[in-house]
Chain A
Amino acid sequence: MSEHLHNALLIDYLRRELPPEDDALVLAHLEKCPACRREYEIEISLSESLRTAAAREELEFPSMIAARVWEEIRSARPSPLAQFVAFFRPAVAVPLVAAAAVAAFFFAMPLTGHESSPKINAAYYLEAHAALQAQNPLDERGPAAVQLIEVAAQDTSAPTELADDVNVGLAAPSAFDAVR
């Protein structure tokens, strides 16, 4: 290494990002070259100045941010699509099951001639449906609703939905073990 060191190399050295062999070469050069040492000291002082300036300007966490975050969370309602799906989940699923049961009944016994039983079944399902509607997740005040939402939060749809929303690499921090 007869040439002077490039600043890029000095910066990597300063950041301790060089592989050991390069690190040793830079160290050896700095020990015998005042010009590069001077340059390296300027790089060090730039880093120190940045840290000093940052420390001097350190701001407190404004309490209004926390207040606004909580406010936003409290005022947030499910999206219209989520509301639609939540509303129709019991309303559609239950009658569908009922209809399927009725269809299966007729398909399985086309010749028996009994017509009253399926209607009773359907009525039963509709009643069940009505009971479910009373626990509609849209009614956020009811304890039943809270339970439903808690269960919903535990199913896999919640994180998936959020992943798009958040637009972060969810596995990203895996390389960092220390909690800084």
Chain B
Amino acid sequence: MGQPTPEQTAFLERAMGQYGKATYNFAYRLTGNESDARDLTQEAFIRVFKAWRSFQPGTSFLSWIYRILTNLYRDELRRRKGRFQEELPEDNAPQEFAGQRPMAVTPIEDYVERQLSEPLSRALAQLSAEQRQVVVLADIEEYSYQEIAEIMGCSIGTVRSRLHRARALLRRLVERAQKPTS
């Protein structure tokens, strides 16, 4: 990596100080567990440090690092699974059984560890990785379709259809969770 310049170091310091929390929370919502969120966030900031010169002042830093993080997450899922959710038909049956879990190696423990007991969070964790990303970016981060398309590297049409399916599935999962089981 070579010796960092003072400007590069200051850039990273400021980036982590200002956007560390948002980035970490975004990573946590994508992965559903703190350990993976920490690893992803760490790697994302290292990428930011390496590529700091390519950041264009006046553009959104968060969009940039979310994009880095989204790519890292996708690569990590590929590495772990040998394939990616995208290769499966997106609108196949509810994915709570067949679909991609959050990338925790031990998801059960992580859910117990965190407050993901709540129906909605649990439902969110049952979406595919891309569906979860689009919901997080649209409904929690409140990005526009255009911005989400740029972050996720896909078309606006894909963003739109992913969001529609993800929300429909979320509603079904939440409704099911709220029904008494007996």
Contact = CB atoms under 8 A, between A and B. Distances in A.
A59 interface: yes
B68 A168 contact: yes
B140 A54 contact: yes
B46 A17 contact: no
A46 B118 CA distance: 14
Contacts of A12: 160
Interface of B: 1-5, 8, 12, 16, 20-21, 23-25, 28-29, 34, 37-38, 41-42, 45-47, 49-51, 53-56, 58-64, 67-68, 71, 75, 114-115, 118, 120-121, 124, 135-136, 138-140, 144-147, 150-151, 153, 160, 163-164, 167-168, 170-171, 174
B-side binding surface: helix, strand, loop or mixed? helix
A42 B135 CA distance: 16
A72 B58 contact: no
A1 interface: no
Q: Which 7 A-B pairs have the closest CB atoms?
A: A61-B20, A176-B60, A173-B59, A76-B1, A61-B21, A170-B54, A8-B164
Interface of A: 7-8, 11-12, 15, 17, 42-43, 46-47, 49-51, 53-54, 56-62, 64-66, 68-69, 72-73, 76-78, 140, 145-146, 149-150, 152-153, 158-159, 162-163, 165-180
